[in-house]
Chains A and B, each alone.
Chain A
Amino acid sequence: MPVIKDVVCTFCGCLCDDLEVTVEDNKITKVGKACKLGRAKTMGMFLHERIEKPMIRKNGKDSELEECSYDEAITKAAEILVAAKRPMSYGWCSTSCEAIEKAVVLAEETGSLLDSTANVCHGPSALATQEKGAPSCSLGTAKNYADLIIFWGCNPVHAHPRHQTRYSTMAKGAFTPNGKKDKKMVVVDPRNTDTAKKADLLLQLKPGSDYVLIESLRAIVNGHADILPDEIAGLPKAKVMELADMCKASKFGIIYFGMGITQTRGRYKSGDNVASLLSDLNQTNKFVMIGMRGHYNVTGFGQVAAWEAGFPMAIDFSRGSAYYNPGETGTNDVLMRREVDAFITGAADPGAHFPQESIKHLYKIPAIQVDGYANPTTEFSDVVIPAAIAGVECDGTAYRMDGQPIRMKKLIETTFKTDEEILTEIIAKVRELKGNGGA
């Protein structure tokens, strides 16, 4: 039986690249080494159904989706985008960098807004990076060196199941040969999560008080513990002191932060203050951070958009050049202002993740979906274009949460077009419709 080794899992930002996949009759029958999320993804056993055929609604949102050819769907998509005054392109985080490059070109050619799923998860980390930078390292460095691991506002046991064995708590590295025995693990979370159960220290802070806690740690690290009150972020001061002492005692510490930091009160200001805390701590010992990115290639979107267009997200091409002002040009900013008059999304599910106000507007404007699977977004999409699953049915590049690019493999044959092909064809059609090479 043919077993493909060192397969890259394209589910979460861990991007594990050691999977062993058995393929029989062009079907994946076994996925070794993956966690259950990774196995489900790789085997295509998602809750959602596969989109089998391109489909369009011929008579508005209330009419049924009807099957059509790829050509028809692609032409219709191009027509919608060309006719629009304020189109928006969103998603592109669970696909290859090669497809993302095409999404950037399409956005340029149609004068679109372009944004990624970071708009609803780690976008604020990019803002924090703009404020204070990102002191970071590769996951392998963390594995080899880190003797103090802090999970802040994230729950890897459920969201990144192999993170702890491959890279963090349990991983054995050059200077942590005994794995967990050589490390301390701290969880900072309002909830007593499954990750927290194994922690050496849990700081169950008051929801939304992350910024206060970070600021207090900075005060302690900089020798001003005396000015702090007895209760900090809903925690006894002693507990906060304990964490500060652990930070100071470590040789190499790392904070893995999740949406508990980026999507709670304080948002990017919290992330920005984490960077300041790290800058302070590095005066005496090494301390870095890594964002626990969810979608396997949301990091890749930021990378590709940055090198192609100069900005990692929330880009507005309506002026011909790239303009960036998150808060104004982010997906939900423009949707809530009901500014957008056409929408294309790929490899994402805004229908499930956007606020109600935004979705209401999406039900009113022409929408195009490029995806392998049907999901709530399909329900308001007027053009639905089925795509091959990157990392399973086609190869390409993805960036791990620490910024490490890895080449995804093609495991089985497919008759579906890839995201890259679909976007390339839409771009060609757009050029044809505009009839002038685009400008």
Chain B
Amino acid sequence: MAEMVIKNGVVYDPKNGVDGERNEICIKDGKIVDNVGAGAKVVDAEGCLVLPGGVDGHTHCAGKINTARIMSPHDMRYAPVAGLSGPEPRTKLLRPQVGYNTPNTHGIGYRYSKLGYTTIAEAAITPMMARHMHEEFESIPILDKLALVLLGSNWQVMQYIQDGDSEMLKSYMAWALLASRGYGVKIVNPGGGSNWTWGKNVSGLDDKVIDFDVTPADILVGLAEANEALNLPHSIHVHCNNLGIPGNITTTLATMKLLEKVKASQDRQVMHLTHMQFHSYTGTSWMDFASGSDQIADYMNSHDHLTFDMGQMIFGPAMTMTADGPTEYRNARMFDAKWSNYDQELEDAGGIVPLSYTPQHFAHATMWSIGLELALLVKDPWKVMFTTDNPNGGAFVNYPEAQVLLMSDKKRQEVIAGFPDMTMDRISLPNIDRELDWGEMTVMTRSMPAKMLGLDVKGHLGAGADADVAIYDVKPDKVDVSVEHEAVKKALSFAKYTIKGGEIVVQDGEIMALPKGKVYWVNAYENGIVQAEKDRLMTDLEERFKKYYSIQLSNYMVEDAYVPRPVEIRPEVA
């Protein structure tokens, strides 16, 4: 493959200590290298911002989103973000695009690329549905992908924890990742998904799950320990119990404390907490509901075993989709909204409900503020990932909007000025004047997600990294983001260049090429589990498939045909 050199850029590469320097970036065979020959293609960045390609470590982009598409033909025509939403006709190069919260697969690929993102992590898939997710992955062009596999209400998991059989738990976890070609372990409302099959939920860490003698706390600790015993690149990735309920901060803080006792197997967090905004509420009802971001931030600032992502809200229509089945039913009843539900045998629940967030409602205004407060009150950006929990808090095409909010107090105050008075004593955002700089923004959107996931070839521009680069039409040394936030938002929405694996895929905001992305997955089974334990697991699984599953064990695993460009990661065996 041809060589390339990016010249005259202002480079931010926090992992390698580069903070706005005019370094050259050299690329060869899809990788960043130290130098290239004189014949290398020159990309002139003209003094613009050069960052590693964006990494979205938590998005709902394949699998459940398809039911959301079928539910919402109206979304296909909705185009609030010009150039990044709504119907667009095919071109010589591009397939037709539609949608805003739930774009078609091609729209997802093109639009993430236009934002300068090059890697996305589907945040919630059951092993049994992984085949479907991979079909959509294959249809999403350009981007590299990986999947977090739902295990927090899984019968096998709960059975082995109940039995105190940590070896079986480990074996099963490794096998589930293999069976689904998954990357990491996701836990949603631990135990609650199982109870939801009976139409019930759990109310906190210490409730008993109906059909197993375990609690959500047991599930979290059990899976975290197995995760670390397998030395998986990513930690457990957790959506806490009691999402979206006033007073849920008690459960969230208890979950954070609970994990203090588990030791990480490597230099990363022991647990990632997702969409923290939805879990940081004080109060006892919607009447006295308020932001608890200060308490969460205090804890995060004094502890180092956790990371989280924002789950920032974007005003306007959203599409909520989660394995948190009881939450979705509650949403549907509360807002008289349409409701889809899916209870996946032995594995997890799931629900989908369209919602709309408005700045005129104090509850939504408060939630919007909490996401930003969390990111701004936590001092170390390496503990915070930028997300909207796409499209639960808002569609990913709004990332530039929310990123600019983090960089401009002025813009925040403009929005807050429109909030109802009832919001003001519930939030602290008006008094926070921190504005993220480009280095911090680069951490939260690239370097931190890659580190949190344990993807060492992503999120930086050092030699050996994948040559995924985003160049934006922003002159960092000339622009005052605080004031010129609209211009910066526009620049972040349409990259000057997006380079994926050494190939220019976006130029001046237009798609130029459609390479196919890779799928990262973790094989901790082959070498990580001894044969005797593999046999023991298989004997048990054969029995369980006969009795409880509705498909054959031999038809369960995702076949190689669905992962044509895999990158298999084998963790070192401890």
The chain A residues found within 8 Å of chain B, CB to CB, are 5-6, 8, 17-18, 97, 101, 105, 108-109, 126, 129-141, 143-145, 166-167, 172-174, 251-252, 275, 279, 282-286, 288, 302-304, 306-312, 317, 319-324, 395, 397, 399, 403-407, 436-439
Seed contacts A136-B340, A275-B339, A308-B139; 11 additional CB < 8 Å A-B pairs: A108-B96, A109-B90, A132-B339, A133-B332, A141-B197, A144-B548, A283-B333, A286-B198, A309-B98, A399-B132, A438-B90
Tell which of B98, B102, B132 touches A405, judged by Cβ atoms closer than 8 Å: B132
Beyond A137-B341, A324-B73, is A6–B552 a contact (Cβ under 8 Å)? yes
In the assembled complex, B547 has its CB within 8 A of some CB on chain A:
yes
Q: Is B112 an interface residue (CB 8 A)?
A: no
Bound together, the chains give a CA A302 to CA B102 distance in angstroms of 15
A332 to B136, CA, bound (A): 30
Chain A CB count within 10 A is highest, among B106, B333, B342, B555, for B555
Contacts of B199 in A (CB 8 A): 252, 282, 284-286
**B53-104 interface (Cβ within 8 A of A):** 62, 66-67, 69-73, 76, 87-92, 95-99, 102-104
Known: A136-B340, A136-B341, A310-B76. A406 touches B555 (CB 8 A): yes
Q: Are A135 and B76 in contact (CB under 8 A)?
A: no
> 8 closest pairs, A vs B, by CB?
A320-B89, A140-B345, A140-B550, A310-B98, A133-B338, A286-B199, A137-B343, A321-B87
Point out the residue from B139, B211, B550 that lies within 8 Å of A139, measured CB to CB.
Answer: B550
B329 lies within 8 A of chain A by Cβ: yes
Bound form: Cα–Cα A132–B346 in Å: 26
Residues of B within 8 A of A108 (CB): 90, 95-96
Which residue of chain B has its CB nearest to the CB of A174?
B548
Given the contacts A405-B135, A407-B561, A322 and B87 also touching, CB distance less than 8 Å: yes
- Is the beta-carbon distance between A140 and B346 smaller than 8 angstroms? yes
Partner of B550, one of A134, A167, A303, A304: A167
Chain A residues contacting B555 (CB-CB under 8 Å) are 6, 8, 17, 406-407
**Chain B residues within 8 Å of A275, by CB:** 338-339
The one of B129, B341, B549 in contact with A140, judged by C-beta atoms closer than 8 angstroms, is B549
Chain A's nearest CB lies how many Å from the CB of B176?
Answer: 16
**Number of inter-chain CB pairs below 8 Å:** 198
Q: Is the CB of A307 within 8 A of B105?
A: yes
A420 to B76, CA, bound (A): 27
What separation, in Å, do the CA atoms of A108 and B104 have in the docked complex?
A: 14
Q: Is B352 a contact of A133 with CB atoms below 8 Å?
A: yes
| CB-defined A-B contacts under 8 Å, sample of 27 | A6-B555, A17-B552, A17-B555, A132-B338, A132-B339, A133-B71, A133-B332, A133-B353, A134-B70, A135-B339, A136-B342, A137-B341, A138-B128, A138-B343, A138-B550, A139-B550, A140-B346, A145-B198, A282-B199, A286-B197, A307-B104, A308-B104, A311-B98, A312-B69, A321-B89, A407-B559, A438-B92
Task: Tell me the minimal C-beta distance from A9 to chain B in angstroms.
Answer: 12
Is the CB–CB distance between A97 and B76 below 8 Å?
no
With A141-B345, A144-B345, A286-B197 known as contacts, the answer to whether A404 contacts B89 (CB < 8 A) is: no
B344 at the interface (CB under 8 A from A): yes
Inter-chain contact B91/A439, CB cutoff 8 Å: yes
The answer to whether B551 has its CB under 8 Å from any CB of chain A is yes
Cβ A279 vs Cβ B550 within 8 A: no
Question: In the complex, what residue of chain A is closest to B196 when comparing beta carbons?
Answer: A286
Contacting B104 at CB < 8 Å: which of A18, A144, A309? A309
B554 within 8 A of A: yes
Give the Cβ gap from A194 to chain B, nearest Cβ, in Å.
24
- Is B99 in contact with A310, judged by CB distance below 8 angstroms? yes
Q: Which of B97, B98, B329 has the most CB of A within 10 A?
A: B98
Shortest C-beta distance, B167 to chain A (Å), equals 24
Task: Judge whether B131 is part of the interface by a CB distance below 8 angstroms.
Answer: yes
- Of residues 119 to 137 in B, which have CB atoms within 8 Å of A's CB atoms? 128-129, 131-132, 135-136
Shortest CB-to-CB span from B99 to chain A, Å, is: 6
Residue of A nearest to B76 (CB): A310
Contact yes or no, B66 A133, CB < 8 A: no
Tell me which residues across on chain B come within 8 A of A320, comparing CB atoms: 89-90, 96
Complex Cα distance, B72 from A438, in Å, reads 30
Q: Which residues of B contact A436 (CB under 8 A)?
A: 92
Which B residues are CB-close (under 8 A) to A144? 345-346, 548
Query: How far apart are A353's CB and chain B's nearest CB, in angstroms?
Result: 23
- Complex Cα–Cα for A134 and B547 (A): 27
CA distance A143 to B66 in the complex (A): 25
On chain A, the residues within 8 Å of B104 by CB distance are 306-310, 322
Instruction: Check B73–A303 contact: CB distance below 8 A.
Output: no
Rounded to whole Å, the gap between the CB of A170 and the closest CB of chain B is 14
On whether the beta carbons of A252 and B197 are closer than 8 Å, the reply is yes
Known A133-B338, A310-B76, A406-B555: A251·B198 in contact at CB below 8 Å: yes
Contact check: which of B67, B73, B136 meets A134 at CB < 8 Å?
B67
Smallest CB separation, A143 vs chain B (Å)? 6
Q: Would B92 and A437 count as touching, CB distance under 8 A? A: yes
Question: What 0/1 pattern do residues 310 to 341 of B give for CB contact below 8 A with A?
Answer: 00000000000000000001001100001111
Residues of B within 8 A of A437 (CB): 92
- State which residues 346-364 of B face A: CB under 8 Å: 346, 352-353
Instruction: Tell me the bound Cα distance from A201 to B441 in angstroms.
Output: 63
**Contacting pair B554 A138 (CB below 8 A):** no
Are the C-beta atoms of A306 and B66 separated by less than 8 Å?
Answer: yes
**Within the assembled complex, what's the spacing in Å between the Cα atoms of A18 and B70?**
30
* Interfacial chain B residues near A407, Cβ < 8 Å: 131, 555, 559, 561
Chain A residues within 8 Å of B329, by CB: 282
- Bound CA span A307–B343, Å: 21
Chain A residue contacts of B343, Cβ below 8 A: 137-138, 141, 145, 288
Q: Does B345 contact A307, Cβ atoms closer than 8 Å?
A: no
CB distance from A146 to the nearest CB of B (A): 10
B73 in complex: contacting residue of A130, A166, A307, CB < 8 Å: A130
What is the minimal beta-carbon distance from A218 to any residue of chain B, in angstroms?
14
| Partner of A321 from B97, B128, B135, B559 at Cβ < 8 Å | B97
B107, B340, B552: the one within 8 Å of A129 (CB): B340
A306 to chain B, nearest CB (A): 4
Could you tell me the distance between the alpha carbons of A145 and B551 in the complex, rounded to whole angstroms?
16
Q: Give the shortest distance, in Å, between B213 (CB) and chain A (any CB).
A: 15
Task: Find out whether the CB atom of A309 lies under 8 angstroms from the CB atom of B342.
Answer: no
Residue from B97, B106, B197, B333 having most chain A Cβ neighbours under 10 A: B197
B548 engages A138 (CB within 8 Å): no
Whether the Cβ atoms of A174 and B106 lie closer than 8 Å is: no
Residues of A within 8 A of B198 (CB): 145, 251-252, 286
Known: A141-B344, A308-B106, A309-B104. A321 touches B88 (CB 8 A): yes
Does A138 lie within 8 Å of B559, measured CB to CB? Answer: no
Question: How many angstroms between the C-alpha atoms of A138 and B193 in the bound complex?
Answer: 14
Which of A126, A137, A275, A317 neighbours the largest number of chain B CB atoms within 10 Å of its CB? Answer: A137
The complex places the Cα of A286 from the Cα of B417 at a distance, in Å, of 44
Flag if B345 contacts A138 (CB, 8 Å). yes
Q: In the complex, A97 Cα to B338 Cα: how many Å?
A: 28
Q: Which of B532-555 contact A (CB under 8 A)?
A: 547-552, 554-555
A17 to chain B, nearest CB (A): 5
List residues of chain A with CB within 8 A of the CB of B211.
174
Instruction: Say how far A206's CB is from chain B's closest CB, in angstroms.
Output: 29
CA distance A402 to B333 in the complex (A): 24
CB contact between B340 and one of A134, A285, A307 (< 8 Å): that residue: A134
A322 CB to closest chain B CB (Å) equals 5
Binary contact track B30-73/A, C-beta < 8 Å → 1, others 0 = 00000000000000000000000000000000100011011111
Contact with A along B185-223 (1 / 0, CB 8 A): 000000000001111000000000001000000000000
Q: Are A324 and B76 in contact (CB under 8 A)?
A: yes
Least Cβ distance of B338 to chain A in Å? 4
The docked-state distance in angstroms from the alpha carbon of A138 to that of B136 is 20
Indicate whether A405 sits within 8 Å of B131 (C-beta atoms), given known contacts A145-B197, A321-B90, A322-B98: yes
Report the nearest A residue to B346, measured CB to CB. A140
Are B105 and A308 in contact, with the CB atoms below 8 A?
yes
Are B341 and A6 closer than 8 Å at their CB atoms? no
Per the bound structure, the CA–CA distance linking A324 and B76 in Å amounts to 9
